[in-house]
Amino acid sequence: MVGTLTATDLLCLAPALVFGFGLCPYLDLTFYRALDATPSRHAFAIFGIAFIPILLLTVAYRQGITQPLVVAYIMVQATFTVAAHLREIRERSWPRARGSRAALLLVPAAAVALVLLPGDGENTYLRFLGFYGLLFPAYVLVFMCWRKIATPQRAALLGWAAAMLAFLPVYEVAFVHRITWPAGIPVAALLAWGAWRKLR
């Protein structure tokens, strides 16, 4: 398996990848169940180790996405993932707040918009990953990290949405068009804003 990006490209993309992998779990209710069930929070690092083969498997089947075994694997994985999340949402009656429910509706709407954009399946997939590299971790950083406010007010949600609209073209350029050097700009800006907010 040989990629098409240089080491410099990967270094430029690394902040976005770390940003997404580091903060997205805070929006995953199944992660909270695992944390509650484990005797030590350090044991949860096992997930990171177990997730590496899944990533490698995804790379391995990239060229054979229509093979029957690959399709079966994707269907089983998707069914399990959806069922696990629906169980957590049902048991926790989440989200209760109107603002969070409204924010959730933006996700499928944005996903439909991505499918309608020009480009092949790989470009659509990369754009969808932008949710995990920018939108979701930025939501965690803005509304959950320091003030522990997971339910945004309308004005704050609109501000977050405006920032995401401004930053998404940067990810489009970096991940789809492979001009990778700007990829760290949104992450740096969000972290700087978060640090300023914490010190204020």
Give tens-digit pLDDT for 126-177: 888 777 888 889 988 888 876 555 556 777 778 888 888 899 899 989 988 8
User: Is residue 179 in some structural domain?
Assistant: yes
Cα gap 2→147, rounded to integer Å:
43
Output the pLDDT for position 115.
Answer: 65
Output the pLDDT for position 22.
Answer: 86
Q: What percent of the chain has pLDDT over 90?
A: 13
Number of domains forming the structure of the chain:
1
Of the pLDDT bands very low, low, confident and very high (cuts 50, 70, 90), residue 60 is confident
Give tens-digit pLDDT for 27-40: 888 888 877 777 77
Return the closest-CA partner of residue 141 out of 68, 195, 73: 195
User: What's the whole-number average pLDDT of the chain?
Assistant: 78
Q: What percent of the chain has pLDDT over 70?
A: 76
Cβ burial, residue 145 (10 Å; 0-12/13-18/19+): middle
Range of the domain at 158: 7-26+97-199
Has this prediction a pTM greater than 0.75? Answer: no
**Is the pLDDT at 67 greater than 80, yes or no?**
no
Written as six digits, the tokens of 110 are 């944005």
**Is the pLDDT at 26 greater than 90, yes or no?**
no
User: Is residue 66 in some structural domain?
Assistant: no
Of the pLDDT bands very low, low, confident and very high (cuts 50, 70, 90), residue 66 is low
User: Is residue 58 in some structural domain?
Assistant: no
**Is the pLDDT at 104 greater than 80, yes or no?**
no
Cα gap 113→103, rounded to integer Å:
16
User: Is residue 51 in some structural domain?
Assistant: no
Written as six digits, the tokens of 28 are 């995953």
User: Is residue 142 in some structural domain?
Assistant: yes
User: Is residue 111 in some structural domain?
Assistant: yes
User: Is residue 1 in some structural domain?
Assistant: no
Beta-carbon count within 10 A of 133 CB: 26
User: Is residue 157 in some structural domain?
Assistant: yes
